[in-house]
A and B are shown apart, each in its own frame.
Chain A
Amino acid sequence: MNKFKMVTFAIIVTALSAFTAKNNVSGYKVGDIATDFSLKNVNDKMVSLKDYKDAKGFIVIFTCNHCPYAQAYEDRIIALNKKYSKAGYPVIAINPNDPAKQQDDSFELMKVRAKEKGFTFPYLFDEGQKIYPQYGATKTPHVYLLQKTSKGNEVKYIGAIDDNYEDAKAVKQKYVENAVDALLKNKEISVKETKAIGCSIKA
């Protein structure tokens, strides 16, 4: 193989691997910059992350009405917002499901659910299901903790709210709280990624 051939070969291999790498990317990893959005809230107003001038970051949670896992976490999501919105990390809930596939997750029923449960945070509808694939959410509930940086909203934690979907009292590890606490104290987050059982997103 002469030099020219070798270089060409190397370029082709690099190009190919770059393409396959791109195809394999399925949403954000910790350290990535998350996209902003403009989605409709249950009060019919549009919400974007950039509207929150004073926020230090966001607890973005993909959740929905119908999923029992999401329902099991509703009170804990309310508590998270109560605890952290004043500290600069408000909860932003997004329903990623297509109501054509899951009728219980329609925008009208989101309004009903938000009122019933007294949501104190925006509950947004991912119309056209365009935002959740960019984040890489696969199920509800699925949390992305973001921190405002000079580069944009950086992903700091991805995964579950805590380690017990069934019983809030039996929780041993509060993953999201620990992560936000670490950010507030300028410390390294100890658990940056977790997995949880959830309802697959219906789109």
Chain B
Amino acid sequence: MKKLKFIGFKEVIEMRNTCILLLLLVCFSMKLSAQQANKPIDVYKKEGVSVKAYNFKTFEHYLHIQNDTTYVINFWATWCKPCVAELPNFEKLNTQYKGQKVKVILVSLDMKKQVEKSLLPFIKRKNLQSEVVFLNDPDADSWIGKVDKNWSGAIPATVIYNKVNRKFYEQSFTFEALEKELKQFIN
């Protein structure tokens, strides 16, 4: 206690400044690591089309964005017939509800060797407007349950969520059925 008395005003200020500086540094490094954790592991480009590739760890944040937007996350692949068949419904939803804070994200589960051969040409040919990401994580057992505990792993599969509600669907959608589900989230 006696020692403290000798610490003058100047020292206290210095100590405070050091603390603030340390705190800022911690915050900054935390933000940096969070950004790195969400960073794609690769970016594929071909003929003006590009797609970001993620492993599950770096992709996972797409399933937990906490803001005013409702996210419609569809798991699909170019080789999956029912997925390709329902894709226009997701595209339509994305366009029609753009003004109402709705965002469709199309998560491709194509294989790595198919990205340049099939996925990028597909995005270009169909002129997809929704954001497409490529989830490249072949150890599927480690992450399927983290998308939803009821998902068997079959595609197509869809998650709709916002900060208050979340639902998972292992099924195909017509536009009407999809819109009906979405309305439970935005009304």
Contacts and interface: CB of A to CB of B under 8 A. Distances in A.
A196 B155 contact: no
Contact of B154 (A68, A167, A175, A199): A199
Interface in A158-190: 159-160, 163-167, 170, 172, 175
Interface in B125-180: 138-142, 144-145, 151-156, 170
B40 interface: no
A164 B77 CA distance: 17
B79 interface: yes
A136 to B, nearest CB: 9
A17 interface: no
A48 to B, nearest CB: 27
Interface of A: 67-68, 72, 102, 138-139, 159-160, 163-167, 170, 172, 175, 194-202
Most buried by B among A138, A164, A196: A196
Interface in B55-105: 77, 79-82
Contacts of A102: 81
Contacts, number: 69
A31 B77 CA distance: 34
Which 6 A-B pairs have CB atoms at the shortest separation, nearest pair first? A200-B154, A139-B154, A138-B152, A194-B141, A195-B144, A166-B138
Given A163-B138, A200-B82, 5 more contacts: A68-B79, A195-B145, A195-B151, A195-B153, A199-B79
